[in-house]
Amino acid sequence: MTLARVTRRSFFDATLRAIIGAAFVGRDGLAALAQQASSSGPLIVHSARPQDLETPVNLLTSWITPNDLFYVRSHFYAPTIDEAQWMLQVDGDVATPLTLRLDELMRMRPRTLPVTLECAGNGRGNYQPPVAGVQWRKGAVGTARWTGVPLADVLERAGRRPSGKFVWFDGADIGLGRAPDFIRSLPLDKAIHRDTLLAYEMNGERLPIAHGFPLRVIVPGWEGAYNVKWVNHITVSDREHPGPFVSTSYRVPRWPVTSGASVDAADTVPIRGLVVKSIITSPLHGANLIPGGATMITGFAWGGEYDIRAVEVSIDGGRTWAAARLGQERAPYAWRQFTLPWRPDHPGSRVLLSRATDARGRRQPLAADWNPGGYLWNAVDMVRVNVGEPEPAAPQRATVAPPPDTDAAAGLLKSRCTVCHSTDLIDAQRLDDGGWRRELAKMQGWGAQLSPDERDLLVNHLVQRSK
């Protein structure tokens, strides 16, 4: 949105031209791909382009997550911003539409809050049957101190009209191909809450580009996608934004549904607050521990808008539970660290579990309800460790070589898919025939070029690869 104010790298233009015309990854595209991939540092790359990066949980060791270790979720490419030209536009149901420069925003009274952000899809990789989307494991979560101005103050300046019931946020990023812009809407009561911020600093530094430079929304305690990055356009409206990132994505069924069911959008509701959850960050799954050695079981627990009341840990697969100690560092909307010292005695395999309860009395379930978007995974966390001699290596299964990429399928992936995103996003999916057909139909809707024959060939190939 407000494209004139955003200078996009020529690569993006080249990419768009490639989509509109035939389709190929130009040399620029490959260079940009390599560059984005190399800027991931120690993070797990789910998608190099657009960037979806997860924090390996062993690096989540402090209450505040350092900027360079913070997970990254992007629907589209990060825009290139010229700060001197940058403006925030505020319009819609307001008395005085505004355009604010960054220095004007930064002169308003600031507020700093530590807030835990979690992607709604964190844990999606656990769902059975598998669900399309980034296959996050445990680390699409982190906590930072965000500094900015209360959105309420900006809306007050513009003079919100009583008809305004929702606030829409659009960032400087633009949709890929025919995919529309990423726009989210927030109900008014949360939008005018003093803790909802337009943030320009993360942990005392200007926002990194991957985290929304120069400005992002922070909606404390709510699901990650409300925290729109690169925000440069705010509209007050009497209704929810009609786009797919509100009407289709980030929604869950009203009632529990059969695993694998397809659910009508009318039977879903938007996700708002985060659910109660805990993760064990140490020891790691598969770790070898010394019998009699001192071990500290550690992790984090959060409950969105609700404080954590207790975390229980089991060292015997859930037969018995002990109260973990909660860390001193705490704040509304921020996670708590928990610890439980343990000296494993007998050699053998152990299953460690963690289970949090929040101030509202919500407790993590033993098994998560399946939902078609693969959102809000919050089952009790489980880590299996081995005490003593490492377990004998499991007998080698005869390795079946993955089917070779047929030249035709490989050619299609390269020419028709990588114009928009890297293939890592495709490789990680675990979909069946029906799932891949739905996925390719969605991609065609967004601009992927495939004839019916090419689609069949690709589906066969992708199903084989997902096995």
* Binding stretches for ligand HEC (CB under 6 A): 19, 50, 75, 132-133, 176-177, 179, 416-417, 419-421, 425-426, 429, 439-440, 442-443, 446-448, 450, 458
Identity at 9, one-letter amino acid code:
R
Question: Considering the complex, what minimum distance in angstroms separates the CB of residue 443 from ligand HEC?
Answer: 4
Beta bridge partners of residue 387, listed in sequence order: 289, 348
273 contacts 222 by C-beta, under 8 angstroms: yes
Q: Who's near 212: CB < 8 A, 6+ residues apart?
A: 171, 199, 227, 228, 229, 230, 231
SS3 91: strand
Q: Give the max Cα distance, the chain.
A: 72
129: helix, strand or coil? coil
Q: Which two tokens stand for residue 262?
A: 């397809």
Minimal distance, residue 176 CB to ligand HEC, in Å: 4
d(CA 141, CA 236): 29
Cβ atoms < 10 Å from Cβ of 378: 23
Cα 235 to Cα 126, 220, 257, distances in angstroms:
37, 20, 35
The nearest distance, CB 283 to ligand HEC, in angstroms, is 32
Nearer to ligand HEC, 89 or 449 (CB): 449
Minimal distance in Å, beta carbon 264 to ligand HEC?
19
Least Å distance, CB 444 to ligand HEC, is: 8
> Would you state the torsion angle of the CA atoms of residues 103, 209, 149, 97, taken in this order, to the nearest 10 degrees?
70
Residues 6+ apart with CB under 8 A from 290: 387, 388
Q: How far is the CB of 440 from ligand HEC (least distance, A)?
A: 6
Beta carbon of residue 265, minimum distance to ligand HEC (angstroms, whole number)? 16
Q: Is the dihedral of CA 118, 124, 125, 127 positive or negative?
A: positive
**Nearer to ligand HEC among residue 376 and residue 419 (C-beta):** 419
Q: Roughly how many angstroms between the first and final C-alpha of the chain, as a whole number? A: 40
* Closest distance of CB 379 from ligand HEC, Å: 22
Closest approach of ligand HEC to the CB of residue 134, in Å: 6
Query: What is d(CA 34, CA 422) in angstroms, rounded to the nearest whole number?
Result: 10
Residue 36 Cβ vs ligand HEC, minimum distance, rounded to whole Å: 14
Question: Which phi-psi region, left, alpha or beta, contains residue 2 (left: φ > 0; alpha: ψ -120 to 50)?
Answer: left
* Residue 32 and residue 11 in contact, taking contact as beta carbons nearer than 8 Å: yes
Q: How far is the CB of 26 from ligand HEC (least distance, A)?
A: 14
Q: Quick one: CA torsion of 321, 325, 327, 328, rounded to 10 degrees?
A: 140
Q: Residue with CB nearest ligand HEC? A: 177
CA distance 52 to 258: 29
Both structure tokens of 347: 């050699």
E strands within 48-165?
A: 52-54, 72-73, 88-92, 98-100, 111-118, 141-150
Query: Based on C-alpha coordinates, what's the Rg of the chain?
Result: 23
What does the alpha-carbon distance between residue 285 and residue 288 come to, in Å, rounded to a whole number? 9
**Choice between 116 and 422, CB closer to ligand HEC:** 422
Q: How far is the CB of 130 from ligand HEC (least distance, A)?
A: 11
* 241 phi/psi in degrees, rounded to 5: -65, 135
